[in-house]
């Protein structure tokens, strides 16, 4: 039975069937006469229908027919497929970014049951990490989870034979690999006893890429010893190739026992204030996220009662793992951004589809007669609609395939746009997977339907007699023209919305860059280093800092040099609660979090931040002197409004910590983020707050490359093994993840999409106008014969275009005004209804569209009356 149907798929078989049917009908005509048998063409068409409808043959026949149609019109096919490819490609590329960032699950067992713990202090919008004892308590008591792992991410120095490399490390609990259910590619993983027993011999598991890159995939590394930050470790295994660790976006190079965090400070095991771990838990089967959250909150409350010093204000939330990349984010700014860009990309698709619809409309002229003739010969309407549907879907699929190809190229461009300068290890893998293909396919089908709806509807309704009797000219009827006008208006309006969004984002980038940062980023070179990585202790470190500063300042052309923990917009910073002396917290109020920085006294000169009151730090502020701090204007106004803050004192972290005395007030400088409002901020001296990871900032009018070489030379002379990283000018560094990065990505993406839409719209308007003008040649000829001048014709044609484009621009402006609020969270220094953007975009789009409409109109004006009248 199935074979009987399938064999119809063979073209030869089908031809034989067709021949046989003709012979049979001919024979019957011989017997009965044509009159007796009635409409044989209809009978044959219906017979064909029955066997086609029951077999796949119908589809094959339609597809073959559609292919033939495309081959016969290569120009049309090329334009249509390119247009679709642009629309589908843009959408697929944006989606593949979303996919790689948020949708692709971790390559572990049952990834959708993983939940990230997100502890937060009351009043703070940001989540923090967990201390080891807190982690133990959550792990032991959270009943909704079958297991819970903890890990801490670090940048460390690893030395195998010689030379130290900086690697991204994860310090993991003993159940890390077993809970995730991954198997080692080589050797073994870290045993529970090795990970969480004080004093256990340290072991190391290499990431697969690190093993390939730094060890040439040598299986002999197992059992080798290495030095991590100067401590001996033994390499025991290699992680599998697909597994990149649980710190999403970046690839972990080495996994270490969490106990190594306690080597230099054994309070790690017990101090609840030492928050260093991120925890991921696995929900028990049948447990919901809500239940999981509830069970965590119970523990958070009991910890707050038991340990009020550290846990009093801590509350606990939890997010599915894919929602917490790269870290839990309560504001949900990533999903918002993703939604905005998917929408913008969708507008490009809409514009592309409208273009294609216009082209099909023009081409529909010829098709209309074909359809009418087939219909008159007895083809069912359903059959014709199906044929058109097949053609559009085929077009969409070919366009979609081209779009996927295009999107892999766009993705390559995107991954270079989207790799932040300060986090080069970020792993952006936009490689398409089934989700991307499914999305592209869905978008392509949608495009096919959008494009095909018009022609399909008219085929369904096609009024035979009109088409057959009045021929081509019936097609310039007013209903038809109206539909064409709708297409133009839609296209212009959609492009307006997209271009305004793009304009606002570009203006926002300008706004961010134009912003008064409060420091001078020009002519400053940054070099980062971490003395931990070569195992320096505090006293060696302090010597090194002093020595390097002296050598750097002695280099020719160096104006000033200083160490700083967080350079402006650095991805890491200190954040602490602040307790003001003599001002106990009112009950129930949570202390405020303030960001601060550890600096060398000369930083204020190096970044040219003026001290407004009091003094800067100096040599006298050393370990033995009373602890001091310098606060920003914003911090002074927040905590001591109307008073002189100099001489006031405060504590950080805990109310029992030593008091810091404010010795000066510095002008507001934006260290954390380029936001318009100034946040409270303060500085403490490096001499009183030793930190192993610092950045050297050197101000010099000399070119950065020469200076860089000389400074690196001095570092190597002092500590030959010390790796340096993030070596770049301060201006470059402003483009980092916390700096202008997102502004730039947003502006680049939106501008790219905007240019695509603009291009498509111009082409579309030009095409529609040309077609309209050619359709009206006869009418124009008549008007001219009746005395209209070329000027009149030009005015008429252009006036019509102007009206259409104006309508589109106005509608677009209205929609943009209504929806631009959605992107206001991404805007800095420009309002969502920025009149300049709206005016400029209207002028640009309106102007270009008019030019595109003008050229065909000019041609129409020059029409020869006789030719036009004879035109049919």
Note the residues at the interface with another protein (CB under 8 A).
Answer: 1, 4-5, 20, 23-25, 27-28, 30-32, 36-40, 42-44, 46-47, 49-51, 54-55
Q: Cβ 60 to another protein, closest distance in Å?
A: 16
Q: Cβ 24 to another protein, closest distance in Å?
A: 4
CB nearer to another protein: give 320 or 378: 378
Closest CA to 763 of 346, 487, 347, 352: 352
CA distance linking residue 395 with residue 353, whole number of Å: 11
CA distance linking residue 571 with residue 622, whole number of Å: 28
Quote the Cα angle for 275-276-282, to 5°: 100
CB nearer to another protein: give 46 or 369: 46
DSSP 475: G
Q: Cβ 378 to another protein, closest distance in Å?
A: 9
Q: Cβ 39 to another protein, closest distance in Å?
A: 5
- Token pair belonging to 488: 């133009």
Place of tokens 């291009």: 759
222 contact partners, CB below 8 Å, separation of at least 6? 186, 187, 235, 236, 237, 238
Quote the Cα angle for 215-219-220, to 5°: 85
Q: Cβ 25 to another protein, closest distance in Å?
A: 8
CB nearer to another protein: give 17 or 637: 17
CB nearer to another protein: give 49 or 191: 49
CB nearer to another protein: give 26 or 470: 26
- Token pair belonging to 526: 């940054």
Helix (H, G, I), strand (E, B) or coil at 125: coil
Helix (H, G, I), strand (E, B) or coil at 157: strand
CB nearer to another protein: give 20 or 581: 20
Per-residue HEC secondary structure of 623-671 comes to CCCCCEEEEEHHHHHHHCCCCCCCCCEEEECCCCCCCEEEEEEECCCCC
CB nearer to another protein: give 28 or 575: 28
Q: Cβ 456 to another protein, closest distance in Å?
A: 25
Q: Cβ 44 to another protein, closest distance in Å?
A: 8
Q: Cβ 30 to another protein, closest distance in Å?
A: 6
Q: Cβ 377 to another protein, closest distance in Å?
A: 13
CB nearer to another protein: give 4 or 821: 4
CB nearer to another protein: give 8 or 507: 8
CB nearer to another protein: give 25 or 755: 25
74 contact partners, CB below 8 Å, separation of at least 6? none
CA distance linking residue 544 with residue 675, whole number of Å: 36
Place of tokens 């006469």: 33
CB nearer to another protein: give 28 or 486: 28
- For 578-601, letters b (16+ CB in 10 Å) and e give bbeeeeeeeeeeebbbbbbbbbbb
- 348 neighbors 501 (Cβ within 8 angstroms): no
Helix (H, G, I), strand (E, B) or coil at 331: coil
CB nearer to another protein: give 386 or 858: 386
With residue 140 as reference, give the H or E element that holds it: helix 132-141
CA distance linking residue 290 with residue 144, whole number of Å: 10
CB nearer to another protein: give 35 or 709: 35
- Direct distance between the N- and C-terminal alpha carbons of the chain, in angstroms, rounded to an integer: 53
CA distance linking residue 488 with residue 484, whole number of Å: 7
CA dihedral 90, 95, 100, 103 (to 10 degrees): 180
Q: Cβ 52 to another protein, closest distance in Å?
A: 10
Closest CA to 630 of 658, 597, 581: 597
**What is the DSSP secondary-structure string of 396-453?**
HHHHHHHHHHHHHHHHHHHHHHSS-TT-TTB-------HHHHHHHHHHHHHHHHHHHH
Q: Cβ 764 to another protein, closest distance in Å?
A: 44
Helix (H, G, I), strand (E, B) or coil at 724: strand
Place of tokens 């003395």: 531
CB nearer to another protein: give 49 or 661: 49
CB nearer to another protein: give 27 or 867: 27
Q: Cβ 382 to another protein, closest distance in Å?
A: 14
Q: Cβ 18 to another protein, closest distance in Å?
A: 12
Q: Cβ 336 to another protein, closest distance in Å?
A: 56
- 783 neighbors 871 (Cβ within 8 angstroms): no
CA distance linking residue 288 with residue 282, whole number of Å: 11
CB nearer to another protein: give 26 or 264: 26
By DSSP bridging, strand 681-685 and strand 592-599 are: parallel
- Cβ neighbours, 10 Å, residue 694: 25
CB nearer to another protein: give 20 or 792: 20
CB nearer to another protein: give 40 or 289: 40
Q: Cβ 386 to another protein, closest distance in Å?
A: 17
Q: Cβ 495 to another protein, closest distance in Å?
A: 50
The per-type count for the chain, helices as H runs and strands as E runs, is 27, 22
490 contact partners, CB below 8 Å, separation of at least 6? 350, 354, 808
Q: Cβ 465 to another protein, closest distance in Å?
A: 22
Helix (H, G, I), strand (E, B) or coil at 55: coil
- 693 neighbors 529 (Cβ within 8 angstroms): yes
Quote the Cα angle for 825-830-831, to 5°: 70
Query: Exposed, middle or buried: residue 487 (CB in 10 Å: 0-12, 13-18, 19+)?
Result: buried
């Amino acid at each position: 039975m199935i074979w009987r149907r399938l064999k119809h798929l063979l073209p030869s078989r089908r031809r034989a069937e067709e021949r046989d049917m003709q012979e049979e009908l001919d024979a019957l005509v011989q017997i009965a006469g044509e009159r007796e048998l009635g409409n044989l063409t209809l009978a044959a068409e219906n017979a064909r229908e029955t066997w086609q409808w029951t077999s796949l043959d119908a589809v094959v026949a339609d597809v073959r027919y559609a292919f033939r149609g495309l081959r016969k019109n290569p120009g049309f096919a090329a334009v249509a497929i390119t247009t679709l490819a642009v629309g589908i490609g843009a959408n697929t590329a944006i989606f593949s970014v979303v996919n790689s960032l948020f949708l692709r699950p971790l390559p572990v067992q049952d990834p959708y049951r993983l939940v990230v713990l997100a502890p937060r202090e009351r009043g703070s919008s940001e989540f923090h990490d967990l201390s080891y004892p807190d982690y133990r308590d959550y792990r032991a008591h959270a009943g909704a989870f079958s297991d819970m792992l903890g890990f801490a991410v670090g940048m460390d120095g690893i030395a195998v034979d010689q030379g130290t490399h900086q690697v991204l490390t994860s310090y993991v609990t003993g159940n890390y690999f077993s809970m995730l259910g991954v198997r080692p590619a080589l050797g073994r993983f870290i045993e529970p006893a090795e990970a969480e027993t004080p004093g256990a011999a340290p072991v190391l598991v290499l990431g697969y890429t690190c093993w390939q890159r730094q060890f040439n995939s040598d299986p002999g590394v197992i059992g080798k010893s290495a030095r991590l930050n100067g401590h001996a470790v033994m390499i025991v295994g290699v992680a599998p190739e697909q597994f990149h660790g649980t710190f999403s976006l970046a690839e972990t190079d080495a996994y270490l026992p969490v106990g190594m965090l306690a080597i230099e400070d054994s309070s790690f095991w017990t101090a609840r204030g030492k928050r260093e771990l991120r925890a991921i838990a696995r929900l028990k089967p049948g447990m919901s996220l809500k239940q999981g959250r509830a069970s965590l909150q119970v523990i958070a409350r009991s910890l707050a009662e038991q340990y009020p010093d550290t846990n009093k204000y801590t509350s606990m939330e939890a997010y599915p793992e894919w929602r917490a990349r790269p870290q839990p984010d309560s504001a949900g700014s990533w999903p918002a951004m993703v939604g905005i860009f998917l929408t913008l990309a969708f507008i490009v698709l809409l514009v592309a589809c409208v273009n294609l619809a216009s082209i099909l409309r023009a081409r529909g002229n010829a098709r209309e007669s074909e359809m009418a003739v087939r219909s008159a010969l007895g083809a069912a309407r359903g059959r014709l609609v199906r044929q058109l549907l097949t053609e559009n879907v085929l077009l969409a699929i070919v366009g979609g395939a081209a779009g996927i190809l295009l999107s892999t190229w766009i993705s390559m461009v995107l991954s270079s746009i989207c790799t932040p300068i300060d986090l080069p290890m970020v792993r952006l893998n936009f490689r398409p997977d089934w989700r991307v293909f499914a999305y592209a396919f869905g978008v392509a089908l949608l495009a096919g339907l959008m494009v095909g709806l018009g022609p399909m509807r008219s085929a369904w309704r096609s009024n035979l007699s009109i088409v057959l009797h009045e021929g081509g000219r019936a097609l310039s009827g007013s209903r038809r023209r109206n539909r064409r006008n709708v297409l133009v208006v839609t296209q212009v309006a959609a492009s307006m919305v997209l271009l305004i969004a793009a304009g606002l984002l570009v203006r926002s980038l300008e706004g961010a860059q134009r912003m008064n940062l409060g420091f001078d980023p020009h002519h400053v070179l940054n070099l980062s280093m971490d003395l931990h990585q070569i195992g320096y202790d505090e006293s060696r470190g302090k010597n090194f800092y002093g020595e390097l500063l002296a050598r750097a300042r002695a280099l020719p052309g160096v104006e000033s040099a200083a160490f700083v923990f967080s350079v402006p917009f650095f991805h890491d910073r200190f954040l602490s609660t602040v307790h003001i002396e003599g001002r106990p917290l009112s009950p129930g109020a949570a202390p405020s979090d303030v960001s601060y920085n550890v600096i060398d006294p000369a930083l204020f000169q190096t970044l040219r931040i003026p001290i407004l009151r009091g003094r800067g730090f100096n040599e006298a502020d050393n370990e033995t002197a009373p602890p001091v701090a310098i606060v920003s204007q914003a911090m002074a106004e927040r905590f001591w409004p109307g008073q002189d803050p100099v001489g006031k004192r405060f504590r950080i972290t805990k109310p029992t910590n030593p008091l810091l005395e404010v010795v000066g007030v510095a002008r507001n400088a934006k260290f954390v983020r380029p936001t318009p409002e100034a946040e409270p901020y303060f500085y403490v001296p490096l001499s009183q707050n030793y930190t192993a990871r610092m950045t050297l900032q050197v101000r010099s009018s000399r070119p950065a490359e020469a200076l860089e070489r000389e400074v690196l030379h001095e570092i190597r002379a002092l500590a030959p093994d010390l790796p340096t990283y993030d070596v770049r000018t301060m201006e470059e560094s402003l483009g980092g993840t916390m700096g202008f990065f997102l502004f730039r990505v947003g502006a680049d993406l939106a501008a790219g999409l905007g240019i695509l839409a603009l291009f498509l719209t111009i082409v579309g308007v030009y095409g529609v106008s040309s077609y309209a003008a050619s359709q009206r040649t006869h009418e124009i000829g008549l008007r001219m014969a009746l005395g209209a001048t070329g000027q009149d014709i030009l005015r008429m044609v252009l006036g019509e275009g102007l009206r259409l484009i104006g309508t589109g621009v106005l509608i677009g402006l209205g929609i943009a005004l209504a929806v631009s609020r959605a992107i206001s969270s991404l805007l800095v220094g420009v309002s969502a209804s920025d009149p300049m953007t709206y005016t400029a975009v209207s002028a640009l789009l309106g102007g270009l569209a008019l030019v595109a409409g003008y050229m065909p109109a000019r041609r129409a004006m020059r029409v020869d009356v006789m030719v036009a009248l004879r035109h049919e």
